[in-house]
Amino acid sequence: MEKRWIIQKSDQKSVQKLAKDLGVNHIVAHLLVLRGIENFDDAKLFFRPELKHLHDPFLMKNMKDAVDRIEKAIANKEKVLVYGDYDVDGTTSVAMMYSFLKRFSPEIEYYIPCRYEEGYGISLKGIDYAKKNNFSLIIALDCGIRAFDQVDYANEKEVDFIICDHHNPADKTPKAVAILNPKQSDCNYPYKELSGCGVGFKLIQAYSQKNNIDFSEISEYLDLLTVSIGADIVPMTGENRVFSYFGLKQINTHPRAGLKALMDIANKIKELSISDVVFGIAPRINAAGRIEHAKKAVEILVEQDLDRAKKLASFIEENNVTRRNLDQNITKEALEMIDENKKSTVVFSKNWHKGVVGIVASRLIESHYKPTIVLAEKDGILTGSARSVHDFDLYEAISKCAHLCEKFGGHKYAAGLSIKKENLSEFIIAFEKVVSESITEDQLSPKIDVDMEIDIDAVDGKLFRIIKQFSPFGPQNLSPIFVSRSVVDNGYGKRIGADKSHLRINTKTASGSLAGIGFSMGDAFENIKDYNEFDICYSINENEWNGRKNLQLMLNDLKVNS
């Protein structure tokens, strides 16, 4: 599947001015301007985030009501249940809030719904558990913004709700004591892109601010918050960037026992980046809820003893291996079901494991680039995950089929839904109709946004050291991607990997050569050997081997010159 390389443009006057003001070359200035940085003060804030740049939490709608209700619960020795979703954002949120509130009251417990018995979001079973065990307040994290019936049910049972969520709200909100969500239309909070854990942290910050607790006493939770930001793929801008900048420092200097155990089992012995969190730590946290129960994820994140954390990490790693095997097998089956003539993909099998359908949906898009839904079955209800393609609003498309769904929720690019089995055929027709009538050919064509085209000789240690300071990377601040034309392998390129599916190149440069690696690009080797010229799309990384560090190109794509 050929990808389009879209090279970004910047205002050259702004680039020239910034290069002069900062004393940097035009490549660095161009990269900064693309990220909205046009003067010295912007650059200082970008390269040197400070905690003082965080917003006042009381700017968020309903924050005072939420803090007052928690204070009342603690003063009256009420039992409080911290409730969160079973993904990374939810489990880090619960671990964070539970650990904080435990400082002030022993009457704090946490609850994670079972993915298979209760599904996504707030469940009636969870509310029944709260009532039966005399909890009078539930603090819901990373879920609840559309839990109208559930909150009404809780109100009937005299169980109060505080909802901390970041998903898109409907025109109305549940009748909770307080709803914290910066995406509410009448919420004046300046930054709208917090993770669910981020909203929870603002509640902790507000409580601490009102009760004269110094920020240094709650900064220990920035590691959990950083994991949530990376895993939930929220924009790496504004407060998220500040949180992640300091959270990564904490992870790399004083990691909590649970994260240290997960880092060790993932063989992450070097300084961790957001990428390491996303691909090394987050999948293991997620695996607990995908295969068994996500309460194991919370257990390891709140554990303070390293030996016990290591035992939990071993258990979670077993879940992760199982998850990986399921992912591979189901992806193989699902690929055979795809209808090439449709502009959407909806696949289902009663034998698939519900815990990996989201991963499989992402895999299918890698090979068949179109809006995709993967469904599994339990008790006659099909539950699944949806993933989208560039700039297509998946959530909006599913909402137009809402009459055929039991429930759904999510974002523009990712959603979850459940459907009665008897409605599946009609849903497939309806969803395909919505997609085919609204998606453009441009959206169905995969593309790579390229920061800049540069000569391969411009890649050196100095450029990499500056780019490294652009981190932490994430949406809206991705690791810079470059294109270089007419490069030549020096003859040492080859297929690598157990199945020879990956590609290693050694591109000639004015000063020698640069190594590069392209995962799943082994087939390109035949076209680049014999000193043929080719164009590469890549980011710059560093490879460490036997104590030596060398620059390495991470290939995103490769095109052979005709």
- In the chain, domain spans: 4-48+448-560, 57-317, 329-438
CA–CA separation, 453 and 436 (whole Å): 34
Q: Residue 393 has which token pair?
A: 């609003």
Tell the CATH topology of 57-317: inorganic pyrophosphatase (n-terminal core) (3.90.1640)
E-strand stretches of 475-546:
482-488, 494-496, 502-509, 512-518, 533-545
CA–CA separation, 301 and 540 (whole Å): 33
Task: Select from 161, 166, 132 the least CA-distant residue to 234.
Answer: 166
Contact criterion met (CB below 8 Å) for 82 and 111: yes
Residue type, 61: K
Contact criterion met (CB below 8 Å) for 543 and 549: yes
Give residues with Cβ within 8 angstroms of 479, minimum separation 6.
275, 467, 470, 471, 473, 539, 540
**DSSP H or E run through 315:** helix 306-335
Question: What CATH number was assigned to the domain covering residues 329-438?
Answer: 3.10.310.30
Residue burial 216-242, b: 16+ Cβ < 10 Å; e: rest? eebeebbbbbbbbbbbbbbbbbbbbbb
| Longest CA span, the chain | 78
Q: Residue 10 has which token pair?
A: 């910047």
Give residues with Cβ within 8 angstroms of 169, minimum separation 6.
145, 146, 181, 183, 184, 185
Tell the CATH topology of 4-48+448-560: OB fold (Dihydrolipoamide Acetyltransferase, E2P) (2.40.50)
- CA-CA-CA-CA torsion sign (257, 107, 110, 204): negative
Contact criterion met (CB below 8 Å) for 180 and 60: yes
Give residues with Cβ within 8 angstroms of 82, minimum separation 6.
94, 97, 98, 101, 108, 109, 110, 111, 138, 139, 141
CATH fold match for the domains 57-317 and 329-438 = no
Give residues with Cβ within 8 angstroms of 36, minimum separation 6.
42
State residue 170's pLDDT score.
87
* DSSP-based three-state secondary structure for 417: strand
* DSSP-based three-state secondary structure for 371: coil
Instruction: Transcribe 134-177 into DSSP letters.
Output: TEEEEEEES--TT-HHHHHHHHHTT-EEEEE--SPP-SS----S
Q: Residue 536 has which token pair?
A: 């590469």
State residue 562's pLDDT score.
62
State residue 455's pLDDT score.
96
From first to last of its 562 residues, the chain has per-residue pLDDT tens of 789 999 999 999 999 999 999 999 999 999 999 999 989 999 999 999 999 999 999 999 999 999 999 999 999 999 999 999 999 999 999 999 999 999 999 999 999 998 878 877 899 999 999 999 999 999 999 999 999 999 999 999 999 999 999 998 989 999 999 999 999 999 999 999 999 999 999 999 999 999 999 999 999 999 999 999 999 889 999 999 999 999 999 999 999 999 999 999 988 777 899 999 998 999 999 888 887 888 999 999 999 999 999 999 999 999 989 988 999 999 999 999 999 999 999 999 999 988 889 899 999 999 899 999 999 998 788 999 999 999 999 999 999 999 999 988 777 888 889 999 999 999 999 999 999 999 999 999 999 999 999 999 999 999 999 999 999 999 999 999 999 999 999 988 999 999 999 999 999 998 889 999 999 899 999 888 888 899 999 999 988 777 788 899 999 999 987 6
